[in-house]
Amino acid sequence: MKVLDVGCGWGSFCKYAAGKYNMEVVGINVSKEQADLGMGLCKGLNVDIKLQDYRNLPYERNFDRIVSVGMFEHVGYKNYKVFMKTIHRLLKDNGLIWKYN
């Protein structure tokens, strides 16, 4: 299963999903410090943490699951539509999104 963690922070969810469930995880974050530390924490796991804005992801219908933990409120209500359209573009037809704030 391929999972995208939008706003992955320090990579805790990425590490958990890849380590416990053997998932392939892509984490994205706009904080260089967090992305760098996250890659260190996930070393040796099937995790790729990128310094990137969710709106600029090149993937199309590539993820089985997309999670966003504690990040959605930072998107701002004016960008909710863009966020949801982007997630829809990235999610496979039978995929699921999970948001937790």
- Encoded tokens for 72: 């959605």
Q: What is the pLDDT of residues 2-21, one digit of tens each?
A: 999 999 999 999 999 999 99
Res. 101: pLDDT tops 60? no
The domains of the chain, with CATH numbers, are 2-100 (3.40.50.150)
Contact 63, 6 (CB under 8 A): no
Confidence category of residue 76, pLDDT binned at 50, 70, 90: confident
Give CA–CA dist 29/51, Å, rounded.
5
Q: What is the pLDDT of residues 90-100, one digit of tens each?
A: 999 999 987 66
pLDDT of residue 99: 63
